[in-house]
Amino acid sequence: MIEADDLIALVRNYNPKTNEKLLREAYAYGREMHRGQRRRSGEEYFSHPVAVAAILTEQRLDDASIVTALLHDTIEDTPATHDEIAGRFGAEIAELVDGVTKLTNLQLNSTQTKQAENFRKLFMAMSKDLRVLLVKLADRLHNMRTIRSLPPERQIAKARETMDIFAPLAGRMGMQWMREELEDLAFRVLNPEARNSIMRRFITLQRETGDVIHKITNDIRLELEREGISADVFGRAKKPYSIWRKMEQKEQGFSRLSDIYGFRIITEAEADCYRVLGAIHRRWRAVPGRFKDYISQPKSNGYRSIHTTVSGRDGKRVEVQIRTRQMNEVAEVGVAAHWAYRDGVRTENPFAVDPARWLAGLTERFDSAEDHDEFLEHVKLEMYADQVFCFTPKGDVVKLPRGATPLDFAYAIHTRIGDRCVGARVDGVRVPLWTRLKNGQSVEIITAEGQTPQPSWVDIVATGRAKAAIRRRLREEERERFIKLGRELTRVAFEHVNRKATDKALAAAAKQLGLEDADALLARVGAAELSAREVVQALYPELAESGAEVDAKRAVVGLQPGQSFNRAACCQPTPGERIVGITYRGRGVVIHAIDCETLSEFEEQSHRWVDLQWHSGKHAPAYPVSLDMTIRNDAGVLGRICTLIGEQSANISDLHFLDRKPDFFRLIIDVDVRDIEHLHAIMLVLEAESDVASLERYRDPGRRP
C-alpha cells in the first residue's frame, strides 16, 4: 500500500503548492475509519482508496479530488457521516464524497426500467460536479485491476457492467486510455479464450516479423528529420479487445486484419501537425476513407487530433495520430483536463472543455424522453457515438454520430425541418432518407408543408434527438386520432340515452373519472382504454342502467312462459347466430345453430321445433365456444395466446391438449364470448399471431346436450 508521504510526493510532482496538511489528515482519517476492514484478497481495505487516489494523480487532479478518493467509501462502509466529513474537510469534499457514495449504490446492471431510472440519477449526480464521476471511474478501474479475488459470478456481473456503462462513459469523456484499459480488463473476464488467442497470435507475429513497432517508429522519425520537423513519435500495438472488436465488425480473421499498430506524433505547434501529415502521405500511401481531421472539427469532449491510416513497412496498415502537446494532454485525460494542475496552478489548456458545457451537451436530449426505455436508448446512443461532420448548404457544420442519416441531419437543424422532411440531396445528388452520411458531405434537406413523420422513421434515424422527436410527434398524431374516434363513440352513447355529449358534459365526466380534461377522456375512449358506456354511467348512472347487459335468463326470445333453455354442446350457438329450439320432455328447450348437423335427426319430428331468436340487447360474456388450435411448441407461446384472448375481454373457461408433438401442440380452448362478433374479433387476433399454425371453431356432432 502507498504510504502518505509517497502519495503526497505524487501530487507534489505536478502541484508543488498542494495542501499537504489536508492530504495527510484525509489519509489518516480514512485509514482510521477503515481500520480492521479487509478486501477479499486479504489486503488492508484502505489500500483501495489510496490506489484510487494514485490513479487520479496520474491525471494531475486537484486536492479536492484526491481527498475525495481517499474518503470515497467512508460514508458507505464506516461510521463516518456527511456532517462529520463536512466539519473536518469542508462542504465541497463532503458533497463529492456523498456523490460518489450515491453512484456506488446505483445498480446499473439491473432490470431495464430500474437501469434507466438509475441512469437518470447518475446524470443528476454528474451534473452537480463531474469530479464525482472521475473518482468513480478511477474506483472502477482499480476494482477491475483486482477483480480476480471476487467469486466468478460477481466477476462476470462487474465486467459486463464495466463493458456496457463505465468504459463507454470514460470514452465519451475523452479518457481513451481508461476506456481501453477498462474494456480489456472486462474482456479478460468475459471472454478469456478469445483474449488469450489474440495474445498468442501477437507473440507469433512478433517472432515472425521482429519488432515492427520499433522499425516503423524509426522510419517515421527519419522522415520527419528529413523535413526538419521536431516531434516525438510513439508506437504501440492495439489492445486485445480493440483487435477483437475489429475482427467481429469486419468479419475478418487475425491474419487479414491490417491496422493493429498505432503511432502517435506529438508536435509543438498546430501548423506542424499539417506539415507532419504531408510528410507521412508523401512517404507512404494513404488508405482512402481513413482520414479524419479533428483539429478543424473537434469532438464535443474537446478532443483534437489528425487521424490517418497508411500502408507502411511491408505493406502493413498503420494508424497515425498527429497532435500538439496541449492537444495530447486533453486526449489523455479528456474532460478531466479542466481540473488538471501544473506547477501549483490550474492548467490553462485552451483545448480543455468546460465540464458544465460538455455535460449540458450530453444530457440535452434526455429530458425529452417520456419513458424509461426511451431515456436508456438516448444514453447509450450518446455514449457509444463516434462522430461524422457534415455541412449545410451555407457551410455550417453539423456533428452527428456515425451511422446517421439525412433525417438525423434534418432534426439536428430543427425539429420542424425534420418533421417536414420529404427528401435530401447529398453533395448535390438526391438520395434515400436511409442513406448513411460520411465525413465532409454537404447535405440539403427538402421539406414540404403537410408532411408528417412516418412510423418507419424511428428505425432509420440514429440519434436520440431524432428518435425522441419522431416518437413524440407520432404520439401526438395518434392522440388526435383517438380523440376524434372517442368523440364519435361518446356522441352515439349519449344519444342512446337521449343526451348530448357537450364539451361541458365531457369535462364533468372527465372530472368524475379522475382524468385531466375532456381530451384525455376522449383519447382513452378512442384507444379502448375506457368505454363510452362508462362515460355515460359516470354522469347518468340511472340512465346507463337501461343499457345494461341482457340477463342470461332472458337471452332468448320466443319461449313459452316458464320455459327454460340450454345451449346445445354440439354446435354451441352464440348470440348473433340464427337459432332454432328442440323441445325435450322434462328438460325444456335445447337451442341449436340453424346449420347444426344434429338437426337432421329431428327432420321427421317437426312438432318438437321451436322458432327462436336471440335478444337484440348487449349480452354478457357468458357463452363458452370451443376453438381448435395448433400452436408452436416454444417457451411463452401459450402464455401469449392467453394474453391475446384476455386483451379481447374474454375469459378462458377450459383448456385441454389433443396432441403434443416436439414442434407443435394441438389443443381445445373454451372461451366465454358475448356474441358472434366478439368471437370473430378473438379469432382475428389469434390468426394474426405468427405462432398460431391453424385455428377453427370446434364443433362436435357427437357431443350431446
Between strands 292-293 and 261-267, the pairing is unpaired
Pair (233, 259) in one structural domain: yes
**Cell representation of residue 373:** 426505455
How far is the C-alpha of 320 from the C-alpha of 307, rounded, in Å? Answer: 6
Pair (494, 636) in one structural domain: no
With respect to residue 362, please indicate whether it lies within any of the assigned structural domains: no
With respect to residue 445, please indicate whether it lies within any of the assigned structural domains: no
pLDDT at 421 (0 to 100) = 93
For the entire predicted model, the pTM comes to: 0.53
pLDDT at 508 (0 to 100) = 87
With respect to residue 562, please indicate whether it lies within any of the assigned structural domains: yes
pLDDT at 52 (0 to 100) = 93
Strand order across the 579-584 sheet: 565-567, 588-593, 579-584, 609-611
The residue among 302, 328, 346 that closes a domain is 346
CA trace torsion 592, 595, 596, 598 (10° rounding): 110
Between strands 443-447 and 421-426, the pairing is antiparallel
pLDDT tens column, 408-448: 999 989 989 999 999 999 988 999 999 998 877 889 999 99
How far is the C-alpha of 157 from the C-alpha of 220, rounded, in Å? Answer: 43
Indicate if the alpha-carbon torsion angle 378, 383, 388, 393 is positive or negative. Answer: positive
Task: Write down the residue that cell numbers 491510416 correspond to.
Answer: 309
pLDDT at 526 (0 to 100) = 81
Pair (62, 143) in one structural domain: yes
pLDDT at 691 (0 to 100) = 87
Options 20, 43, 58, 77, the catalytic residue: 77
Pair (53, 180) in one structural domain: yes
Q: For residue 77, indicate whether it is catalytic.
A: yes
User: What one-character DSSP code corresponds to residue 530?
Assistant: S
Pair (96, 21) in one structural domain: yes
DSSP states of 498-524 as a string? T----HHHHHHHHHHTT-SSHHHHHHH
The residue among 597, 614, 631 that closes a domain is 614
**Cell representation of residue 14:** 505536478
How far is the C-alpha of 678 from the C-alpha of 647, rounded, in Å? Answer: 12
pLDDT at 582 (0 to 100) = 92
Options 20, 44, 76, 700, the catalytic residue: 76
With respect to residue 435, please indicate whether it lies within any of the assigned structural domains: no
pLDDT at 112 (0 to 100) = 45
How far is the C-alpha of 224 from the C-alpha of 57, rounded, in Å? Answer: 33
Q: Say if residues 343 and 64 touch (Cβ distance below 8 Å).
A: no
Pair (164, 180) in one structural domain: yes
Pair (569, 647) in one structural domain: no
Pair (15, 157) in one structural domain: yes
Q: Say if residues 11 and 62 touch (Cβ distance below 8 Å).
A: no
Pair (136, 255) in one structural domain: no
| 128-164 core/surface letters (b: 16 or more CB in 10 A; e: else) | ebbbbbbbbbbbbbbbbebbeebeeeebeebbebbbb
Contacts of range 48-52, beta carbons closer than 8 Å, 24 or more positions apart: 48/73, 48/142, 48/143, 48/146, 49/73, 50/1, 50/2, 50/7, 51/1, 51/2, 51/142, 52/135, 52/138, 52/139, 52/142
pLDDT at 548 (0 to 100) = 52
Pair (51, 153) in one structural domain: yes
pLDDT at 355 (0 to 100) = 53
CATH number of the domain bearing residue 638: 3.30.70.260
With respect to residue 702, please indicate whether it lies within any of the assigned structural domains: no
With respect to residue 364, please indicate whether it lies within any of the assigned structural domains: no
pLDDT at 369 (0 to 100) = 46
CATH number of the domain bearing residue 276: 3.30.460.10
pLDDT at 381 (0 to 100) = 47
Q: Which domain holds residue 654?
A: 623-697
How far is the C-alpha of 175 from the C-alpha of 42, rounded, in Å? Answer: 31
pLDDT at 343 (0 to 100) = 56
With respect to residue 353, please indicate whether it lies within any of the assigned structural domains: no
Pair (580, 541) in one structural domain: no
Cβ neighbors of 558 (< 8 A, separation 6 or more) are 581, 610, 611, 612, 613
Pair (164, 27) in one structural domain: yes
The residue among 547, 579, 594 that closes a domain is 547
* Number of domains the chain contains: 5
| 389-411 core/surface letters (b: 16 or more CB in 10 A; e: else) | bbbeeeeeebbbbeebbbbbbbb
Over the chain (705 residues), what is each successive 10-residue block's mean pLDDT?
Answer: 90 88 92 89 90 90 91 88 90 87 63 50 62 88 91 89 81 80 91 83 71 84 90 85 71 55 89 92 84 81 84 75 87 66 57 56 50 50 59 79 88 90 91 86 89 87 84 83 84 78 87 87 82 81 56 79 86 93 85 90 87 84 91 85 84 82 87 91 88 90 69
pLDDT at 581 (0 to 100) = 92
With respect to residue 63, please indicate whether it lies within any of the assigned structural domains: yes
